[in-house]
Every structure is written in C-alpha cells, then in structure tokens.
Amino acid sequence: MLHTIFFDLDNTLYSKESGVWEAISERINIFIETILKIDGDKVQEVRTYCRQNYATSLQGLKSLYQINDDEYLEFVHDIDFAKILSDDENLSALLSSLPQRKIIFTNSDSLHANKVLNVLGIRSYFDLIIDVISVRPFVKPHEEAFHKALLIAGLKSSNGCVFVDDIIENIEQASNLGFLSILIGDSKNGHLCIPDIFRLPGLLSSLN
C-alpha cells in the first residue's frame, strides 16, 4: 500500500514555465556577482562547476567560498511570489483527492517552501516540510538526505513511499533506495514519468 508521498516543491508542484525558477536563478546570479564579487561573465561557469561537482549551487558555494546557508537562502528566495504564482484550485482538488500522507522534501528552505505553498493555497495539505536545513550537510540526491528525510518523517523504510521530483538524479537515487519514484517532465532512463503533477492520481491508481 502506498501510504506517503514525498513531493519536491520547485518545478514539481508548479510548472517549470511559471517563471519562478528563472526568478530564483537570477537572484543566484546576483548573489554570486555582488556578494562573492565574481565577474558577471564567470557566473555561469561557477554555477555549472558547482552543480557538476557539488549537486547544487549552495553546496558548491559553501565549499568554495564558505558562504553562510541562511544568508544565501534568504537572498536567492527574496522574490515576491504572489506576482508570479496564484491560488491554484485545481492543485488543491488534486491534493485533496490523494489519500496518502503528504510531505514536502525540498532542496530549498522552509521559509521559501511556506511562502510558495501559501501563495498556491495548498499549505494545509502537507503535514511536514523537510528542507535543506533539516537534512544538512546533505542535499538531494545524496543518499544520506533520503535517509534523514525518512527519519524525520518517522518512517523506518521507504516501503510504501512515493517520491515525486523533476530532477532525474533525485529520481534515480530515490529508486535505488526503494521509493516508488515518479519523474515530472520528459521520460528518461525508463523511470515512471508524468508531464505534470495533475497526472499523478491517474498514474497512482493505475498502479494499484
């Protein structure tokens, strides 16, 4: 029986086309350029290096420049989400149709997650937000981050757990660890895949 669903937040519960990620990405660029004083034309290079070697910009910048997590997270998420996202009744209907326990498992921080969930009008569906602070020093897709997430959720194993995310590396790790993993986006490497979150109930009921 599938009893718990771990949802990624960004580009999973709202569309990649919403513009939220572009807004965050722009704030990351500004952080690297203005706080770390790196030339604008080197910013993308730094970000690519961080992603390839440390999984996320935050992990890379912490190792390379000893930045402070809280300062970074506050800076990059300092966005007026209400201008980009709005109350989504279809998303509320979707979440209320799913009987499973729902948990947010995000590589962002809970302040950001709460802001986004509140703007979307879906905060009340989630009984727990597992954020980048609660699993540190790890992040998805590190195996340890998933173990910590299960522990925080009070679960002994991934049996009966669904994991939904838009990043293939996270899906692959979750699959290796026994989660029923569902990729949001284009099909890749034979993983279960749906084009958007609205197809989740159909997919889950087809598996029963």
Binding region for Mg ion (CB under 5 A): 8, 10-11, 166
Beta carbon nearer to Mg ion, 54 or 65 = 54
Closer Cβ to Mg ion, 10 or 131, answer by number: 10
For residue 141, whether the previous peptide bond is cis, meaning omega lies within 30 degrees of 0, is: yes
CB of 39 to Mg ion, least distance (A): 29
| Minimum distance, C-beta of residue 10 to Mg ion, in the bound complex (Å) | 4
Of 24, 129, 123, 132, give the one whose Cα is nearest residue 81: 24
Return d(Cα 35, Cα 47) in angstroms, integer. 14
Q: Do residues 193 and 174 touch, judged by C-beta distance below 8 A?
A: no
Q: 26 or 154: whose CB is closer to Mg ion?
A: 26
Nearest distance from residue 56's CB to Mg ion, in Å? 11
Query: Based on CB atoms, which residue is closest to Mg ion, 139 or 150?
Result: 139
Task: Name the minimum Å distance from CB 11 to Mg ion.
Answer: 4
Closest contact distance (angstroms) between CB of 20 and Mg ion is: 10
Do residues 181 and 161 make contact, with C-beta atoms less than 8 angstroms apart?
no
Bridge partners (DSSP) of residue 101 are 4
CA proximity to 127, closest of 38, 5, 25, 14:
5
Distance (Å, rounded) from C-alpha 5 to C-alpha 2?
A: 8
- Rounded CA-CA distance 129/95 in Å is 15
Of 20 and 61, which has the nearer Cβ to Mg ion? 20
